[in-house]
Amino acid sequence: MKELLYLKDDQLKDLIEKLFVGYRETFSDSKKILDKYSIGLAHQKVIHLLSMYEGISISKLLTKLKVTKQSLNRVLKDLIKLEIIIFKKDEMDTRIKHVYLNEKGKKIFEEIFLLQKKRIYNALLDSSSEEVINFDKVLKKIING
Amino acid sequence: MKELLYLKDDQLKDLIEKLFVGYRETFSDSKKILDKYSIGLAHQKVIHLLSMYEGISISKLLTKLKVTKQSLNRVLKDLIKLEIIIFKKDEMDTRIKHVYLNEKGKKIFEEIFLLQKKRIYNALLDSSSEEVINFDKVLKKIING
DNA sequence: CATTATAGGTAAGTTATATTGACATATTAT
DNA sequence: ATAATATGTCAATATAACTTACCTATAATG
C-alpha cells in the first residue's frame, strides 16, 4: 500500500500504453486467418466469446461486448452466412436465444486461438506460475476498478 | 517452465478476454472528457504518446500507433485546430518534425490521465510492488512475443 | 385478463477510424 | 546527380460502431 506512493506517473503512463499494445498485438496475430474467411476483429471477438461461453444468450453477448444490438446483429448475420453458428431457444423462456459455434466454427476458432495462444505461451515461457497469477490478478482488478 | 503445462486453454482464453476488457475499460474512462473537446479515442492515444515522449517525431508516432500517415494526419489536424500541439523542426535534420503538447494540451492530458490513473491505482491498491512488477513483466513479454 | 417488462430483430442514416493507391515536396545521404 | 527519407495530401473505400425509431414474441405482474 505504501509502496504505491512510489508509482510515478511515468510508470503509470507506461503501463497504460502497454495495456493498449498488448491488446492490439494479441488481437492482430490472427489477421491472416480472419482475412481467409473475410471477417474482422468484431467477428473474432464474438467467436472468442462463443468458444468461452457455449450457448451464451444474445443479451449476455451484448453486455460482454458493450456494443449495440444493431452492431452485434451485423456480425451474427455474417457468421450465419459463413455457416459457423447455430441457435437454440431456451426451453424455459423461449424469448432467449442461445448461440453456439458448430464444428466448422470451432475449427475456425482453433485456427485463431492457436496464434494468440502462441504469443501468450511465449510470454509465459520463462515466467513462474506466481508471476502469471499476479498478472491475472492485477488485470482482473483493472477490469473491476 | 514445467508449470506452463498446467495452463489450460480455458485459462488462456480467459486471459485474452481480460486483455481486451482491461484495454477497453482503461481507455473508455475518459470518454466524457473526450466528448467535452469533441475528440475521440484516436486523439487520446496520440495525446498520451505526446505526453510520454515529448518531441516525438511523426514517423515514431506512426510506428508506435501502427496506423497510416493519412490516418494520423487527420488526428493531428484536429489537434492543431484545438490548438493543443506545436511542432519544432529538428535542428540537424530539418525534414524531421518534433511534436509537443502545449500548456493547454498538457492540461487536457492531465484531465484524461487522472481518470485512467484512478482505475490503475484502485487496481493496485492492495497489490504489492512485486505483483505490479510481475504484471508489467508479463505484459512486456506479451508485447514483445 | 390487461398491462408492463424483457429478449430479440430491423431499417435508415451517421460517425469514427482506418485503409489503399497515387502523387507531391523538401531535405539528406550516397 | 541520384536515391532515400520524412512528411503532406487527395480521393475513394471499408469496418465497426453509433443514434433514433419502431417492430414482434413471450413472460411476469397487477
Q: Render pLDDT for A10-23 as a digit per residue (tens, 0 to 9).
A: 999 999 999 999 99
* Helix or strand (DSSP H, E) at B86: strand B85-89
- CA-to-CA distance for A76 and A47, rounded, in angstroms? 10
Write the DSSP symbol of residue A29: T
pLDDT score, position A132 = 87
pLDDT score, position A131 = 86
pLDDT score, position B6 = 64
pLDDT level of residue B2 (50, 70, 90 thresholds) = very low
Compare B2 and A49 and report the one with higher pLDDT. A49
pLDDT score, position A1 = 46
pLDDT score, position B5 = 53
Residue pLDDT, tens place only, B87-107: 999 999 999 999 999 999 999
In the block, cell 450457448 appears at: A55
Chain A residues with CB under 8 Å of B132 CB are: 7, 138
Write the DSSP symbol of residue B126: T
What is the distance in angstroms measured between the alpha-carbon CA of B87 and the sugar C1' of C30?
29
- Selected residues 69-98 of chain A with any CB under 8 Å from a CB in chain B: none
The answer to whether residue A41 neighbours chain B at the CB level (below 8 Å) is: no
pLDDT level of residue B65 (50, 70, 90 thresholds) = very high
Quote the minimal CA–CA distance from A81 to chain B in Å.
25
Residue pLDDT, tens place only, A53-99: 999 999 999 999 999 999 999 999 999 999 999 999 999 999 999 99
Q: Quick one: average pLDDT of B37-66? A: 98
pLDDT score, position B127 = 82
Domains recognised in chain B with CATH numbers: 9-144 (1.10.10.10)
Strand D nucleotides within a 7 Å radius of protein CB atoms = 5-12, 15-21, 25-28
What is the distance in angstroms measured between the alpha-carbon CA of A96 and the sugar C1' of C23?
55
Instruction: Please report, for chain A, how many H helices and E strands are present, in that order.
Output: 7, 3
Q: Is the dihedral of CA A24, A28, A34, A38 positive or negative?
A: positive
Does the structure show a pLDDT above 80 at B34? yes
**Mean pLDDT value across chain B:** 93
Residue pLDDT, tens place only, A108-138: 999 999 999 999 988 888 788 888 888 999 9
What's the Cα-to-Cα distance from A61 to each of A10, A71, A95, rounded to whole Å? 36, 11, 15
Q: Please, are residues A58 and A99 in contact by the beta-carbon 8 Å criterion?
A: yes
3-class SS letters over A37-106: CCCCHHHHHHHHHHHHCCCEEHHHHHHHHCCCHHHHHHHHHHHHHCCCEEEEECCCCCCCEEEEECHHHH
Q: In what order do the strands lie in the sheet with A97-101?
A: A56-57, A97-101, A85-89
pLDDT level of residue B4 (50, 70, 90 thresholds) = low
